[in-house]
Amino acid sequence: MSRERTEQQRIELAVESATDSPTGVSDAEPWRDEFPPGAMEWTDEVSRRHFLTLMGASLALAGAAGCNIRPAPARKIVPYTVQPDEITPGVPLFFATAHPLGGFGTGILVRSNEGRPTKIEGNPDHPSSLGGTDPIAQASLLDLYDPDRSAASTHNGLPIGYEQVIQAVRKELYVLGEPKKNVRLRILTETVTSPTLASAITRLLQDFPLAKWVQHEPISRENVREGSRLAFGRVLNTVYDFTQADVILALDADFLGFGPGHVRYARDFARRRKVRIDSQDGVKPEQMNRLYAVESMPTSTGSVADHRLALPSSLIESFLRDVARELGMPEVPPSRTLPPQVQSSVRPIAEDLKQRQGRVAIVVGEHLPPTVHALAHALHVHLGAVGKTIRYTEPVEARPEPTRLSDLKTLVSEMQQKQVDVLLILSSNPAYTAPADVPFAEALRSVPFKLHLGTHQDETGVLCEWHVPEAHYLETWGDIRGHDGTVTIQQPLIAPLYGGKSAIELLADITAAPYREGYDIVRDYWRKRFTAEKRNGIFDVFWQESVRRGTVVDTVAAPVTPVLQKEWLKNAPVPPDAPLEGQFEINFRPDPLLYDGRYANNGWLQECPKPVTRMTWDNAVYMSPATAQKLGVKVDFRWTGGEHGRAEVTVVELTYRNRTVKAPAWVLPGHADGCITVHLGFGRTRAGKHVAFSPNEPNAEGKPVRGFNAYLLRTWDDPWGGRGATVKPTSQTYFLACVQGRWYTTQRDPISGLEMDRKPVRYGTLEDYRRFPQFAKIPSMAVGEWELINENVPMPKGYETHAAHGHANGHSHDHDHTHPTQEGSAHGHNGSPSHDNHHDHRLRPLTMYRPMETLAPDLRPEQRRRWAMAVDLSACTGCSACVIACVSENNIPVVGKTEVTRGRIMHWINIDRYYVGPEDKPEQLQTYFQPRMCVQCENAPCEVVCPVGATVHSSDGLNDMAYNRCVGTRYCSNNCPYKVRRFNFLTYADWSTGTLKLGRNPEVSIRSRGVMEKCTFCVQRIRYAEIVAEREGRSIRDGEIVTACQAACPSGAIVFGDLNDPDSVVSRWKKEPTNYGLLAELNTRPRLTYLAALRNPNPAMPKGA
Amino acid sequence: MATTVELDHRKRPPADSGLPLEPEMHPLVQRPHTLVSVGEALGDIVFKPHPRGWWLGFLAGFALLQMLLVAIAWLFYMGVGIWGINVPVAWGFAIVNFVWWIGIGHAGTLISAILLLLHQKWRTSINRFSEAMTIFAVMCAGMFPLLHMGRPWFFYWLYPFPNVAGVYPQFRSPLTWDVFAVTTYFTVSLVFWYIGLIPDLASLRDSAPKRIQRIIYGILALGWRGSAIHWRRYEKVYLLLAGLSTPLVLSVHTVVSFDFAVSIVPLWHATIFPPFFVAGAIFSGFAMVVALAIPIRRWYHLEDFITDHHLDLCGKVMLATGMLVCYGYFSEVWMAWYGHSLYEWGTTIERLFGPYGWSYWCLIFCNLVVPQLLWSRRVRRSDFWLMLVSIFVLIGMWFERYVIVITLSREYIPAAWGRYAPTIWDYATMFGSLGLFLTLFFLFVRYLPMISMAEMRELLPKNQGGGGGHSITENAP
């Protein structure tokens, strides 16, 4: 990356961003101003003669330009005289680094194509990742290329050199190189775990005795820290080992989808969910774990739980107290009354926990009060889980002790009293994220010198006199710690696109005059530490190794054997009562994808359907069906709109502590009654403009922003909400872009009155599995022919269909099968099919051709491949990591809310979410996820109907799509029973924004309008591996090709491979009895099959829980 | 009123032949006309100022045509995303309108070809404008598949043309068959229509008051002089073309129905579709003929030639085909239930009671309930009532295609169920196509004889100079 180019870009973009100046121009729409401050004006008077001269010359020049005398571009192209090490054009490289969120890092590997980061995947060596990622980490790539990023240092909104900013700061802080001791400096950061940054801040604090460091994290973990302090007398970090946990109790905790280490936790958890006959890939049925979830708002964790209880957050403490008393901790004070259904579940849960002899884990949501955390710690000790499933370590945060939302309040009052001279805001946006009763933005006016370091000229940036663009984490050196304390050295993949600086560099430049590169600072820190810790070996080797691996050895936080303090229980506050009638408990939660709002300008995350709710582009007031009915709130899918896209909902006025916002309401089955949930992170006024194909729609208040800002209701003393909220429905309606409106798999037959179950997702309990392992193979129709149908599901080479019918697992033949099929299956089928009763031999197979192994008979054996995929629905948590992985890998465009409401979302993977259970008893519903993408039918219905042969079969069984040949009749989409084809109804791909082009995968073409597209099984990765294998004269190894979704999946629910290799993982998975083909009864012969979702319910639990 | 018609006993069918019409019982020309008066009544329409009704119809059509052009321009600029189509429902109004128009186009050829072969003389007074209607309807229909393509500039890829890329249409796709079927149908219909026009064009040439008219009609008449050898060749070609068109009447809509029937979409994948579609096409085609004939005969005072008897017969055809279509509706539901397929029956439930259930009941009302009025002879012979029934049938048949296409909204995977809402551009294109049709039709009425003069003259009794219902060559020695 040439230095000149970035310089050039910086100046160009500086002019652009100057129009966003806060001064002099209306703040709402500054770009409307024709003559922004600093713009040059044409002062010449134009005479007719002059005008004609200019026009003539312009025309002549324009004509000459069209002649194109020199075909080459105007600039000289200099080829590499010396090839840079390891760079081969066309061959991507992977670099290890870590994605920071909330201060914690998740190890990632970033793919670099000719120096441009194009894809983020998990780092298998990193303990917080183990190879998986989450949607946010992957989508952070798009943030790097965000065209709305701040492009220049500014002073009062006008571009200025970075050096001048540094000089200005130094002038405030230093006299003749000596620190001014009386400067009241304040440094505002987010949670910091970075050792280098912490040491830089500490050094600054030493120079200025009156200085203070304030950490402001809107999604604060203060309750977690406070809880451990209550229980153990000091702040400790909790690390779970879910591979050892037989029973897990999650209390309002989405540990599979949120929080430090959740990617790893999902994998650990899923390991004990994959029930397999072949023990290489999973566990035996008796080893399956059991998850109880008690939560207010349905989350991924609650959705995959074996038992889920809906309970308002404020009652969860009472619940845990009851469990504790039941477990023999009489010192725990009794609780308030719980709803009867929850109350009756306490004893079975406690019994289950007791029986497992310490192989249990209790996970508590970060937003629950410290006493709940402390109680959970006490229970861990009581049940003997410490050292087995729970590990306590030293805290990971650089300064864990007094960090809470109230710190910001103290800072603001200091600011208001003019007790702050210099305020450095480092990568934080408190003007947006501050609680409503902490007037940060207002108080900022009273600070004489304020500097903002941020990636965007955001809500805070425009209020600060000085602004420095922050480098993205993929552009700069740094270090960060994972959930267990492991340090990752973050290395840059690209020179700062917009000339940004990292916080480390900025502080170093402020502290010492010679400007230093982040590389030197981080390296110097580690060199010092290397020496101080007396590590063996050579520093350079240590450094190289650490950077390459993405982890620094021996940096895991030190284990601590905690001592439980008992007195705290006496002083613990009494948990609150059940909510009053007419008033609601309000729960503030981070958005599952936008987090605290920092990703509001990220189109991938905005458009990704949120786990469980499947909402895009908006947040809403989530409430239970009963609550909605009481309030008269409606969610309407009208015939003009769509079940698949557009939902018209009631707008409510939400009042909490005398502050009111207007927001759309959403009815969410499984939500606890009497409380509502709102997601933070929406309603940003200065998030950026270029995010989607279609423009912003006005939100429920009519403002042109996305969603409503829940921070406007939040208060500092009760940041996660509390009781006393009122919800008043208005007559106004609003439309939300929810991509799935059909929640049930069943349909009522008006004639017979039966529920007809289409069984797209097949599920059963462990008991069902033991009784009849093939239960999932029974389709929703043609039940009598289920064996024939399953013969038409592509199976591994050498697999004998009949051999697998229950023989492999010690299933006795004379056993009378009275296994129940799923309740309400296909109408009219009575009695259950038994594998002993062989199918009717008069029936002909569904195809008149013999099952074929390959379409091309003249291939060498190693070229005969049958690519296939299997998805384990027991392991899928619906987290959407695969969706973003697919978007990133395959250059899938963002279409915007308007287009989503028209049913035109382009994602190649849908995470379908189904509710199973009685519709009128939403609290008894079970949730199942099903990732649905192209199943690559061997007998593809789409192929026969294409008039131009644009979708054809490859010899290795892929259903290929030739974009260039497609004329867009869309017949293939109509004829696809899985509805996984996506059409470019308009020109969705962004062909104009330059920076976005850099981030695209060069191996995948950009589709223009009028072209059909769909999942390709990441054909570019297959072909790449084939070329490599061919060159190395070997066949492709199993596991060599990893599809993007497979690589991303935190729980390892997806496998891909060759069915002709009987030992490949995918072949092994497909031999499992739970393997079934979706809509296999249509004779599509799907290459992608599912493994049924297994649940492990506790028979002692009350019915319906 | 009643005219005695001299019968040619050689040609008279035996009484028990089952042929429904006997010229002496149902006079096909209402009042005594001569060869000259027929020419004046029909040919002079072209040269006389036009009634107010014509201007009304033409201007309305022309205005709608402009709307169509705007809609098409915007469509080509933006892409098919301006319509309401989406992923479960990837076909929308465009395909509905395509099938509807193709269906309407069927009546013309049925009347001109099949009824000719069956010696149904009553076809004579309505065949010309029905054929014109066919051609214009097929033009409207043919426009839609082209417009609905994602990349319409590559429409020619659907034709097998030699090219260096070596790519060829995919012949398993019914869309490819469609291209051939519709193209063939259009070509044959056009040629058939034009051949039939030649004697009349010559008549116009001979009687045109202005030189320019004489030149144009002269060129179009291809040198027709009315000699016996001309007539002989004309009759032969006409008969041959009728024979050629006859299978097309059945094949085109059969192929169009394959667009649906060959797919695996529940309720599309049905063997009843071909006959069901053909019957529906004739049903709607006759409705359109009636809907055009009634105003035109009133505006141009052609009650002598398009008699109540003609309308009565059209009404009977509508009743018969309507009942066939309704049998199709019954059969669909019955087979879905009896076939015991979860998806077929589930989709049927959604069709009947789902979000688009109203359109199904609308269709049942228009196509099953309203046509029952046609059992009454008074209704069949009443301008008002017949017009009303025809319009209901036209709407009902449009809804039938809408119901079929909208089936896509709820088929196999519940999570992928969606909805479809047309946008303003969908409506603009749909009504715009009506504009194209009306414009072309009224221009046809303006410049060409809408009822065949030559054939009407043949219909005249011999004592009035006609052929007594027989063609000239038939009577030739």
Q: The CATH number of the domain where B374 resides is what?
A: 1.20.1630.10
* B342 chain-A contacts, CB cut-off 8 A: 756, 758, 780-781, 826-827
* B333 chain-A contacts, CB cut-off 8 A: none
Whether residue A410 contacts residue A212, with contact meaning beta carbons closer than 8 Å, is answered with no
- Coil vs helix vs strand at A744: strand
- Coil vs helix vs strand at A394: coil
Share of chain A above pLDDT 90, in %: 34
Whether residue A572 contacts residue A240, with contact meaning beta carbons closer than 8 Å, is answered with no
Distant-in-sequence, close-in-space partners of A858: CB < 8 Å, separation ≥ 6: none
The predicted structure's pLDDT at residue A414:
87
How many A/B residue pairs have CB atoms within 8 Å? 219
| Residue that wins the pLDDT comparison between A567 and B142 | B142
CA A893/CA A989 separation, integer angstroms? 5
- Banded model confidence at residue A852, pLDDT cuts 50, 70, 90: low
Residues of A (815-834) whose Cβ lies below 8 Å from B: 826-828
CB atoms inside a 10 Å sphere around CB A169: 20
Q: Which domain holds residue B443?
A: 34-160+169-464
CB atoms inside a 10 Å sphere around CB B69: 13
Between B78, B340, B342, which is nearest A986 by CB? Answer: B78
A975–B413: do the CB atoms touch at under 8 Å?
A: no
The predicted structure's pLDDT at residue A826:
37
Q: Which helix (H) or strand (E) holds A1056?
A: strand A1054-1058
Residue B475 lies in a domain: no
The predicted structure's pLDDT at residue A1045:
94
Which of A667, A711, A652 minimizes the C-alpha distance to A298?
A: A667
CB atoms inside a 10 Å sphere around CB B250: 18
Mean pLDDT of A811-822: 37
Residue-wise pLDDT tens digits, A717-763: 888 888 888 899 998 889 888 888 878 888 888 888 888 888 899 99
Which of A913, A972, A933, A1077 minimizes the C-alpha distance to B265?
A: A972
Please state the pTM of the whole predicted model: 0.86
The predicted structure's pLDDT at residue B319:
93
Residue B14 lies in a domain: no
Residue B469 lies in a domain: no
- In this structure, the strands spanning A422-426 and A185-189 are parallel
Residues in chain A: 1105
On the question of pLDDT at A15 being above 90, the answer is no
Whether residue A1071 contacts residue A753, with contact meaning beta carbons closer than 8 Å, is answered with no
Instruction: Encode B16-42: b = buried (16+ Cβ within 10 Å), e = exposed.
Output: eeeeebebeebbbbbeebeeebbbebb
The verdict on A780 touching B (C-beta cutoff 8 Å) is yes
Mean pLDDT, all residues of chain A: 83
A826–B416: do the CB atoms touch at under 8 Å?
A: no
Structure tokens at A12: 């160009």
* A639 chain-B contacts, CB cut-off 8 A: 355-356, 358, 419, 421
Total domains present in chain B: 1
Whether residue A589 contacts residue A367, with contact meaning beta carbons closer than 8 Å, is answered with yes
Share of chain A above pLDDT 70, in %: 85
CA B16/CA B20 separation, integer angstroms? 10
How far off is chain A from B349, nearest CA to CA, in Å? 7
Beta bridge partners of A584: A725
Mean pLDDT of B413-428: 90
Instruction: Give the range among A307-321, A623-637, A842-856, B128-142 with minimum mean pLDDT.
Output: A842-856
CA A732/CA A726 separation, integer angstroms? 17
* A637 chain-B contacts, CB cut-off 8 A: 355, 419
On the question of pLDDT at B35 being above 80, the answer is no
The predicted structure's pLDDT at residue B44:
77
The verdict on A409 touching B (C-beta cutoff 8 Å) is no
Which of A94, A96, A106, A92 minimizes the C-alpha distance to A490?
A: A96
The verdict on A969 touching B (C-beta cutoff 8 Å) is yes
A948–B421: do the CB atoms touch at under 8 Å?
A: no
* CA dist A793 → A868, A936, A953, A1079 (Å): 11, 12, 17, 10
CA B455/CA A348 separation, integer angstroms? 93
Distance of CA A1043 to the CA centre of its chain: 18
A967–B151: do the CB atoms touch at under 8 Å?
A: yes
Dihedral (CA of B297, B303, B309, B312) sign: positive
CA-nearest residue to A902 within chain B is: B86
- Banded model confidence at residue B21, pLDDT cuts 50, 70, 90: very low
The predicted structure's pLDDT at residue B242:
87
The predicted structure's pLDDT at residue A990:
86
* B358 chain-A contacts, CB cut-off 8 A: 639
Q: Taking phi first (over 0 means left), then psi (-120 to 50 degrees means alpha), and beta for anything else, what does residue B388 get?
A: alpha
Residue B17 lies in a domain: no
Q: Which of B75, B87, B157 to mutate to test binding with chain A, by most A CBs within 10 Å of its CB?
A: B87
B415–A914: do the CB atoms touch at under 8 Å?
A: yes
Helices marked H in A715-765 — which ranges?
none
On the question of pLDDT at A504 being above 60, the answer is yes
On the question of pLDDT at A676 being above 80, the answer is yes
Residue-wise pLDDT tens digits, A516-540: 888 889 999 999 999 998 888 889 9
* CA dist A1045 → A883, A908, A981, A992, A1018 (Å): 7, 10, 17, 28, 9
The verdict on A975 touching B (C-beta cutoff 8 Å) is yes
B415–A641: do the CB atoms touch at under 8 Å?
A: no
Phi, psi of A478 (to 5 degrees): -175, -175
The predicted structure's pLDDT at residue A2:
45
Structure tokens at A889: 């890998």
Distance of CA B299 to the CA centre of its chain: 21
- Coil vs helix vs strand at A199: helix
On the question of pLDDT at A70 being above 70, the answer is no
Which of A954, A955, A958 minimizes the C-alpha distance to A935?
A: A958
On the question of pLDDT at A1058 being above 70, the answer is yes
Residue B26 lies in a domain: no
* A755 chain-B contacts, CB cut-off 8 A: none
Residue-wise pLDDT tens digits, B322-340: 999 999 999 999 999 898 8
Mean pLDDT of A20-33: 45
CA A778/CA B53 separation, integer angstroms? 66
Residue-wise pLDDT tens digits, A134-145: 999 999 999 999
B151–A1011: do the CB atoms touch at under 8 Å?
A: yes
The predicted structure's pLDDT at residue B393:
94
Mean pLDDT of B38-43: 76
Residue B19 lies in a domain: no
CA B205/CA B50 separation, integer angstroms? 19
**Cα angle A793-A794-A800, degrees, rounded to a multiple of 5:** 90
CA-nearest residue to A915 within chain B is: B415
CA-nearest residue to A1010 within chain B is: B150
Between A828, A932, A983, which is nearest B415 by CB? Answer: A932
CA-nearest residue to B178 within chain A is: A947
Residue B210 lies in a domain: yes
Between B157, B414, B418, which is nearest A758 by CB? Answer: B414
Of the spans A324-333, A563-572, B195-204, which averages the highest pLDDT?
B195-204
- Banded model confidence at residue A859, pLDDT cuts 50, 70, 90: low
Helices marked H in A403-502 — which ranges?
405-416, 430-433, 440-443
Distance between the two ends of chain B, CA-based, in angstroms?
A: 32
Tokens 């109408």 sit on residue: A827
Residue B156 CB burial class (10 angstroms; 0-12, 13-18, ≥19): exposed
Instruction: Give the range among A57-61, A158-162, A493-497, B459-463 with minimum mean pLDDT.
Output: B459-463
- Banded model confidence at residue A268, pLDDT cuts 50, 70, 90: very high
Residues of A (706-745) whose Cβ lies below 8 Å from B: 740-742, 744-745
Structure tokens at A1042: 């990893």
| Residue that wins the pLDDT comparison between A713 and A31 | A713
Which of B39, B58, B48 minimizes the C-alpha distance to B444?
A: B58
On the question of pLDDT at B192 being above 70, the answer is yes
- Banded model confidence at residue A360, pLDDT cuts 50, 70, 90: very high
Dihedral (CA of A935, A937, A942, A948) sign: positive
